[in-house]
């Protein structure tokens, strides 16, 4: 398996492997004591189902109904929501997350990215990366309590304070920086300004990624060994926190957009083709519709056709998307007006504007500034801006995400502006 070429067959194996822990390198350095490994704790402790499902959630969308039925046909018995474990792979004692590895390998197919100057064609070619990841994982696992919990504890802290801090660490959502449920972006890549994107870049931050995963792994080990103390906190979170779902949707739209952006097939196509692919990627987790009829058209004689709709638990999110190669004020105004005034006749609380910029290298920052200046200083929104524009940090250099707040009928609503750069 380690000598296998990085291709779709390997991706399928990574996605569906479910036979305990697979050791990628036989030389095992024990970082996590056996009795604190997740497999051991999940097998030997009575973990509440609500906590199990939260832990397994990141990998739920990797198991299709067809995959699950195949497992059942060969004798598998188990809950599909807790079938694919988040950490099934191990390199010299450092556990590697399934979903992140899947996306990392997917982005390497047919790419020219390197690690420490060496090309990567097979899984074994990533072992130098895993060596540095291993060092970070050990440091993160060993220092989690000191670096992530103890320094933030109140004076005269007791056991409940510790439980709350561990719970907070595992459930907080900072887009593309800290999220258990959406912890699956690809490699971080450093690009030389004189190189074209198709020529690849250098994979970086193996140690930092290992340390981050070491933190997460230790946090879950602590929780599983005292899970009853956390059960009510998860019940309250999942039953009452509406923003929890909203954060997931923003993350998932970003992930789908970045996955589409990575694929060369979508570098020079029309806006409808790009948006359709984003919606197809989102369809695993949400009900999506491509160009459905809503509201009214700009001429007012028939229903309008919004570019995309995402729906979850009866709540809808509209997407309006278009291509740009420069600041075309009239085009931007037309699409924003459509979304605000023509398609959304109900007053949705959150909507997305997605702009696909086809630009030359090193011109994206200037295009971003022009767009920000336009929407903050020139554009007249139908529902006026009520707060300052907010920029949300994203992981990749070729995208930006802004958030504008508007007052509609006395209620604050949000418009997300996602700008994606494609090679010209």
Handedness of CA 232, 238, 241, 247 (dihedral sign): positive
Q: Which pLDDT value is given to residue 175?
A: 66
Q: How far apart are CA 368 and CA 397, in angstroms?
A: 12
Query: At 385, phi and psi to the nearest 5?
Result: -65, 135
Number of residues that this document lists for the chain: 424
Tokens of 225: 């060994």
Classified as helix, coil or strand, 361 is coil
Q: Which pLDDT value is given to residue 297?
A: 39
Query: At 351, phi and psi to the nearest 5?
Result: -140, 165
Q: Which pLDDT value is given to residue 197?
A: 52
Q: What is the pTM of this model?
A: 0.68
User: For 252-304, how does the pLDDT look when each residue is reduced to its tens digit (9 = 90+)?
Assistant: 898 889 889 988 889 999 999 999 999 988 876 678 887 654 434 343 333 44
Q: Which pLDDT value is given to residue 182?
A: 74
Task: Map tokens 């832990």 to a residue.
Answer: 55
Tokens of 344: 């959304």
Inter-residue contact 395 to 185 (CB < 8 Å): yes
Q: How far apart are CA 105 and CA 126, in angstroms?
A: 10
Q: Which residues contact 27 (CB under 8 A, 6 or more apart)?
A: 92
Task: Map tokens 């300004």 to a residue.
Answer: 193
Task: Map tokens 């700009």 to a residue.
Answer: 298
Classified as helix, coil or strand, 122 is strand
Handedness of CA 268, 274, 338, 401 (dihedral sign): negative
Tokens of 238: 């999942």
The architecture (CATH level 2) of 243-423 comes to 3-Layer(aba) Sandwich (3.40)
Burial of 138 (0-12, 13-18, 19+ CB in 10 A): buried
Task: Map tokens 């020139």 to a residue.
Answer: 378
Task: Map tokens 């949707």 to a residue.
Answer: 249
Q: Closest Cα to residue 130, out of 108, 119, 115?
A: 115
CA torsion, ordered 143, 144, 150, 153, to nearest 10 deg:
160
Q: Which residues contact 222 (CB under 8 A, 6 or more apart)?
A: 144, 145, 166
Q: Closest Cα to residue 117, out of 131, 129, 100?
A: 129
Inter-residue contact 254 to 319 (CB < 8 Å): no
Task: Map tokens 């912890």 to a residue.
Answer: 183
Structural domain boundaries in the chain? 8-240, 243-423
Low-confidence ranges of the chain (pLDDT < 50): 194, 243, 293-304
Beta-strand ranges (E) seen in 11-117 are 22-25, 89-91, 94-96, 114-115
Q: How far apart are CA 421 and CA 131, in angstroms?
A: 33
DSSP state of 5: B
Burial of 353 (0-12, 13-18, 19+ CB in 10 A): buried
User: For 315-353, how does the pLDDT look when each residue is reduced to its tens digit (9 = 90+)?
Assistant: 789 999 999 999 999 999 999 998 887 788 888 889 999
Beta-strand ranges (E) seen in 155-266 are 188-190, 202-204
Task: Map tokens 């907080």 to a residue.
Answer: 172
The number of helix segments (H) and strand segments (E) in the chain equals 13, 16
Q: Which pLDDT value is given to residue 88?
A: 97
Query: At 15, phi and psi to the nearest 5?
Result: -65, -40
Inter-residue contact 311 to 288 (CB < 8 Å): yes
Q: Which pLDDT value is given to residue 157?
A: 86
């Amino acid at each position: 398996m380690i000598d296998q070429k990085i291709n779709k067959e390997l991706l399928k194996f990574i996605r569906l492997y479910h036979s305990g822990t697979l050791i990628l390198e036989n030389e095992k350095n024990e970082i996590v004591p056996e009795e604190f490994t997740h497999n051991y704790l999940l097998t030997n402790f009575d973990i509440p189902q609500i906590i199990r499902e939260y832990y397994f959630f990141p990998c739920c969308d990797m198991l299709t109904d067809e995959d699950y039925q195949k497992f059942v046909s060969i004798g598998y018995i188990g809950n599909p929501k807790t079938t694919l474990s988040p950490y099934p792979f191990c390199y010299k004692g450092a556990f590697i997350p399934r979903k992140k590895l899947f996306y990392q390998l997917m982005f390497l197919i047919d790419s020219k990215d390197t690690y420490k100057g060496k090309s990567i064609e097979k899984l074994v070619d990533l072992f130098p990366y895993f060596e540095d990841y291993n060092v970070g994982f050990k440091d993160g696992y060993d220092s989690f309590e000191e670096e992530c919990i103890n320094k933030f504890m109140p004076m005269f802290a007791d056991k409940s304070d510790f439980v709350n801090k561990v719970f907070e660490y595992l459930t907080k959502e900072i887009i593309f920086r800290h999220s258990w449920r959406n912890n699956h972006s690809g490699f971080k890549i450093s690009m030389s300004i004189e190189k074209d994107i198709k020529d690849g870049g250098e994979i970086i931050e193996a140690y930092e990624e290992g340390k981050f995963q070491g933190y997460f792994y230790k946090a879950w080990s602590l929780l599983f060994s005292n899970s009853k103390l956390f059960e009510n906190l998860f019940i309250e979170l999942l039953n009452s926190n509406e923003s929890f779902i909203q954060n997931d949707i923003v993350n998932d739209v970003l992930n789908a957009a970045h996955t589409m952006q990575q694929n060369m097939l979508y570098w020079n196509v029309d806006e409808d083709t790009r948006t359709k692919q984003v919606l197809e990627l989102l369809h695993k987790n949400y009900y999506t519709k491509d160009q459905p009829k809503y509201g009214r058209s700009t001429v007012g004689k028939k229903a309008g056709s919004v570019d995309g709709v995402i729906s979850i638990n009866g709540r809808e999110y509209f997407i309006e998307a278009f291509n740009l190669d420069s600041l075309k004020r009239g085009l931007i105004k037309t699409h924003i007006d459509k979304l605000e005034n023509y398609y959304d006749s109900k007053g949705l609380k959150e909507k997305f504007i997605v702009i696909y910029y086809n630009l030359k290298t090193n011109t994206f920052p200037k295009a971003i500034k022009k767009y920000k200046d336009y929407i903050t200083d020139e554009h007249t929104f139908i529902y006026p801006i009520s707060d300052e524009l907010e920029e949300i940090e994203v992981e990749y250099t070729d995208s930006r995400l802004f958030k504008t707040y508007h007052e509609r009928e006395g209620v604050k609503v949000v418009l997300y502006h996602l700008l994606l750069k494609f090679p010209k």
